[in-house]
Amino acid sequence: MLELIKSSERGYADHGWLKSFHSFSFADYYDPKRMGFGALRVINEDRIAPDTGFGTHGHRDMEIISYLLEGELAHKDSMGNGLAGGAHSGVIRPGDVQGMSAGSGVRHSEFNHAPGKSTHFLQIWIQPDADKLGLPPSYQQAHFTEADKRGRLRLIASPDGAEGSVRMNADARLYASLLDGAEHLEFSVAAGRLAYVHLVRGRLRVNGQALEAGDAIQMRQDIALTLDQAQDAEVLLFDLPA
């Protein structure tokens, strides 16, 4: 079964410095029918005004992925990332993917320090596997060029870090793709798995269903997916445990 979720059905919050669309219940937005999909718990499309951001706050037992679209995002955390001498600069820009396993607990902040330019990104939360709770927190960054994603499903997050993807403590895989014109993709949803397609930008058809930016399709059964008739499309595909 395929279910189409329109962009207009998402929650929305305007905090002045932050404007955010919520694909699932989050903060003050609550819809009992939209509490997540399988292990996928959050997709927030966030726009952060210049010289503002999220102050230091904590997470635990969540796989948190940031997918940067425009601007830049500076991350600092209690593991030392983003600090002088830290393992990672913590700053991500378009094409970058940031993965943080909150594990037993981590505190971090995220800011847009670019003067006069908003930051546009997707904040994604995936629940870790039940046997991977309470692990030490970890952090990774990876860059994927437009050529990496053009006309194909590029793995950007996975349980094993395959193909240079960021590693998650979850039996889930996240793919990104850029499609236009005659470019098309096929993906088989394995038995016992779920799939979720989120159209980031542009237009796209999934198994005959027309999608516009912010729309999504979720699938709960063994099925073959066809993505075609794209117009400047950027799309994310989640392969999730049932």
CATH of residue 82's domain is 2.60.120.10
Report the domain count for the chain: 1
Side-chain-side CA neighbours of 178 within 13 Å: the count stands at 10
What are residue 201's DSSP bridge partners? 234
Burial class (CB in 10 A: 0-12, 13-18, 19+), 176: buried
pLDDT (0 to 100) of residue 58: 98
Strand 18-22 to 40-48 pairing: antiparallel
The 10s digit of each residue's pLDDT in 126-164 is 999 999 999 999 999 999 999 999 999 999 999 999 999
Per the structure, the complete domain to which residue 137 belongs is given by 2-241
Q: Nearest-5° angle of CA 155, CA 57, CA 238?
A: 20
- d(Cα 106, Cα 219) in Å, to the nearest integer? 33
pLDDT at 33 over 90: yes
| H helical segments located in the chain | 146-149
CA distances from 77 to 69, 168, 184, 237 (A): 22, 18, 39, 28
pLDDT at 86 over 80: no
Tell me the average pLDDT across 211-216: 98
Give the pLDDT band (50/70/90) at residue 202.
Answer: very high
CA distances from 164 to 140, 141, 160, 161 (A): 11, 10, 9, 6
The 10s digit of each residue's pLDDT in 171-196 is 999 999 999 999 999 999 999 999 99
pTM of the shown model: 0.96
